[in-house]
Structure 1
Amino acid sequence: MSRPFNIEITESEAELKKQLQHVREAIAKEKLQMRWWLKSGQVTQQQEIGKRLGRDTSTITRWLQKYRRGGLKQLLQVNKAPGNERKINAEVLADLQRQLQNPEGFRSYGAIVEWLQEKHGLTVEYGTVYATVRYLLGGKLKVPRPQSHQQNEQAVETFKKTLELPSLR
């Protein structure tokens, strides 16, 4: 025989119903659903909650312990892993941003990879450099439009003069 199942749900049924209608995340919805079932008296045992939600009873026990300790805030809190540190730190990013602002800039992302290696001693992959420059810094490479090496300079100047519009007075 299991021990008695006691839990005090502080919110009213109407509050719980309203919260349940506005929640977006699936895990939060399950946790709110569990509280609503307990408050409305539809469920009286942890095993029944586990069966309804398709969760193990140990998970339900953990959720209820969180609720007892810290209320709704702790129950709905989602802990995220901190992740890895950026390969390109803030100081290097600022220097890279300044270099991208220069009129000369960089001709290719490969040149940025080499610059990071030479100047800062960082070995960074091409894809990381591309994503950092393009999406994080919003920068673009300074690459001139291609021109033929056989192009006649005189013909270009003549063409430009024929395109000039007379000034309007």
Structure 2
Amino acid sequence: MSGVVKINITESPETLKILLSQQKQKQTFERIQALYLLKTGQVQTVQNLAIIIGRHRTTVQGWLRRYREGGMPLMLDMGKSSGRPSMIPDWAIERLLEELNSSKAFSSYGEVKDWLEEELGVRANYDVVHKLVCYKLKYKLNLSRKKDL
């Protein structure tokens, strides 16, 4: 029959059911659920399995390919995305931290942005500088607001 999944699932249905009840993350639950549905014969094709789980067919095929290649550990391994590289390199952040901790105090995030560009040659948006100083470095600038008279 065309489209029928050909996979040798080594875990028993009981083991898979126990694993399902132990899952705290949706991603791992769905992957084990896919194996459980195949093992118990509730679905025969990847297309039906994808519909029941609510994922695209190619996503489910990827899970099953990983299971064939490395079993349960590889299939459940989520990995970690490296993400986008920071606009401000680590060496520049270290220099900025030294400057922030020195006697010279910046009075605005704009001054920090200008200092990064003039002294270190690092160009960054105001928002990036603000988030870096405020949230990542957890440094409070001496911001004084002008009061209207």
Distance, in Å, in 1 between the alignment partners of 2:14 and 2:100 is 56
The range that moved more, 132-141 or 80-89, is 80-89
**CA positional deviation for 1:67:** 0.8
**CA positional deviation for 1:81:** 4.4
Aligned to 1:115: 115
The runs of 5 or more residues in structure 2 that have no matched partner are none
Amino acid at match of 1:88: I
| Structure-2 change in CA distance of 1:92 and 1:55 (3 Å) | closer
The runs of 5 or more residues in structure 1 that have no matched partner are 147-169
- The answer to whether structure 1 residue 67 and structure 2 residue 89 are counterparts is no
Amino acid at match of 2:101: Q
Aligned to 1:92: 92
For the aligned residue pairs, the C-alpha RMSD in angstroms reads 2.6
**CA positional deviation for 1:96:** 0.7
Contact 1:116 1:122 in 2 (8 A): yes
Q: Which has the higher Rg, Structure 1 or Structure 2?
A: 1
Distance, in Å, in 1 between the alignment partners of 2:2 and 2:93 is 59
Aligned to 2:37: 37
- The answer to whether structure 1 residue 135 and structure 2 residue 148 are counterparts is no
**CA positional deviation for 1:80:** 5.0
TM-score with structure 1 setting the length: 0.73
**CA positional deviation for 1:21:** 1.8
Distance, in Å, in 1 between the alignment partners of 2:3 and 2:43 is 16
TM-score with structure 2 setting the length: 0.81
Distance, in Å, in 1 between the alignment partners of 2:62 and 2:117 is 48
Secondary structure of 1:44 counterpart: coil
Amino acid at match of 1:9: I
Structure showing greater relative contact order (alpha-carbon pairs closer than 8 Å, 6 or more residues apart): 2
Contact 2:50 2:60 in 1 (8 A): yes
**CA positional deviation for 1:59:** 3.7
Contact 1:104 1:142 in 2 (8 A): no
Secondary structure of 2:111 counterpart: helix
| Structure-2 change in CA distance of 1:5 and 1:138 (3 Å) | closer
1:110-165 superposed Cα distances (whole Å, 9 cap, x missing partner): 1111111110112211111110011111111135798xxxxxxxxxxxxxxxxxxx
Distance, in Å, in 1 between the alignment partners of 2:67 and 2:30 is 13
Contact 1:103 1:142 in 2 (8 A): no
Distance, in Å, in 1 between the alignment partners of 2:24 and 2:111 is 44
Listed as ranges, the matches of 1:22-61 within 5 Å are: 22-61=22-61
